[in-house]
Structure 1
Amino acid sequence: MFQVGDKIMYPMHGAGVIEAIEEKEILGVKQNYYVLKITTGSMQVMIPVEKAEELGIRAVVDACELDDILRNAAKPDSDPSTQWNHRHRVFLDKIKTGNIHDGVEVICELASRSLTKTLSRGEKAVLDQARQIFISEMMLVKGITEDEANDLLDQMVSC
């Protein structure tokens, strides 16, 4: 169980800080909820404590692991002949895992692909989403601004 002040990652939404743990009654059922303030934007999310693990909630990575990821981002190795709708599904599935390595793989793959081909609207949306999720975690782990996190990510994908 996480505590108030813990920094956590919520797949598909990004990283944030638990501001409170509140008991709420919804549809006649009382449950405890994490009140999570997402780092980027002004979104606040309530997550049922009992479903946190099922939803893929995890603690943010530590600074050493993040630095390692930034230094050693995986080079894309997917089959360029794969149809865009299949790639789109695979990329979304990777983002939904909440695994930071899967998210970085999506970013690197789509950033690399954008150098040789125009990304479809769906691919651009997936790339933007994956970037925002990763940036939100970088901001919390490194204690940096969104612009600084964007710059670090741009350096990572340009290597």
Structure 2
Amino acid sequence: MTKAKKSDFRPDDFVVYPAHGVGKIVSIEEQEVAGMTLELFVISFEKDKMTLRVPTHKATEAGLRQLASADEVEHAMKTLKGKAKVKKAMWSRRAQEYEQKINSGDLIAIAEVVRDLHRADDQREQSYSERQLYEAALERLTREIAAASGNDESSAAEKIGSVLVSRAA
């Protein structure tokens, strides 16, 4: 992974912040904190009605990255087509691993969670916590694929849905 420099991010760029998913840099501002002047990226997560300020010199360390490339999106879609890999570990342990993958901000890891937790109509019901993790991962995946491909979220969701359904068939 190439190390992104401050200059790699500009206002109006869509970026991915690991713990929150896709956001948009609205501005770069200076703010005085404890007597020091800090330069900050102001990132808006419209869907969550949230604004995040990340020091520009810590952005890469914090995991801020550009949107996935077309190749990465293609890799994520291939990952979705694969067979679900469900470990025999206790649910609490697996849930923790899924949570870490979702919050890693890694598109492929998020696609793995969607693949592993997806249920076809004829499969057993998901537990509440399984469904929560599945929906969180699916939302992150959908938002990034939509932003990376310049489409709206509903067409990205359709594309993902058709891959998941074709896999189950």
TM-score, normalised by the number of residues in structure 1: 0.85
For 1:71 and 1:61, how far apart are their aligned partners in 2? 14
Rate the CA distance shift 1:17–1:52 in 2: closer, same or farther, 3 A: same
Corresponding residue number in structure 1 for 2:28 = 21
* Contact 2:16–2:67 (Cα < 8 Å) also in 1: yes
Runs (5+) with no aligned partner, structure 2? 1-5
Corresponding residue number in structure 2 for 1:63 = 70
CA deviation after TM superposition for structure 1 residue 113, in Å: 8.2
Corresponding residue number in structure 1 for 2:136 = 129
Corresponding residue number in structure 1 for 2:85 = 77
For 1:67 and 1:7, how far apart are their aligned partners in 2? 19
Rate the CA distance shift 1:90–1:113 in 2: closer, same or farther, 3 A: farther
Rate the CA distance shift 1:83–1:26 in 2: closer, same or farther, 3 A: same
SS at match of 2:118: helix
CA deviation after TM superposition for structure 1 residue 28, in Å: 4.4
Q: Which has the higher contact order (CA 8 A, sep 6+)?
A: 1
TM-score, normalised by the number of residues in structure 2: 0.80
Decide which moves more: 106-115 or 91-100. Answer: 106-115
For 2:48 and 2:150, how far apart are their aligned partners in 1? 16
For 1:117 and 1:26, how far apart are their aligned partners in 2? 52
For 1:85 and 1:70, how far apart are their aligned partners in 2? 27
- Tell me whether 1:93 sits opposite 2:93 in the alignment: no
CA deviation after TM superposition for structure 1 residue 122, in Å: 1.9
Within a 5 Å distance, the mapping from 1:105-124 to structure 2 comes to 105-112=112-119, 116-124=123-131
SS at match of 2:84: coil
For 2:115 and 2:79, how far apart are their aligned partners in 1? 11
Within a 5 Å distance, the mapping from 1:38-49 to structure 2 comes to 38=45, 40-49=47-56
- Tell me whether 1:153 sits opposite 2:164 in the alignment: no
CA deviation after TM superposition for structure 1 residue 35, in Å: 1.3
CA deviation after TM superposition for structure 1 residue 51, in Å: 2.5
Decide which moves more: 54-63 or 34-43. Answer: 34-43
Instruction: Find the structure with the greater CA-based Rg.
Output: 2
Q: How many residues align?
A: 158
Identity of aligned residues (%): 25
CA deviation after TM superposition for structure 1 residue 116, in Å: 2.9
CA deviation after TM superposition for structure 1 residue 98, in Å: 1.3
Q: Deviations over 1:53-107 (max 9, x none)?
A: 222111111223313422453322222x321101100101112221111000001
Runs (5+) with no aligned partner, structure 1? none
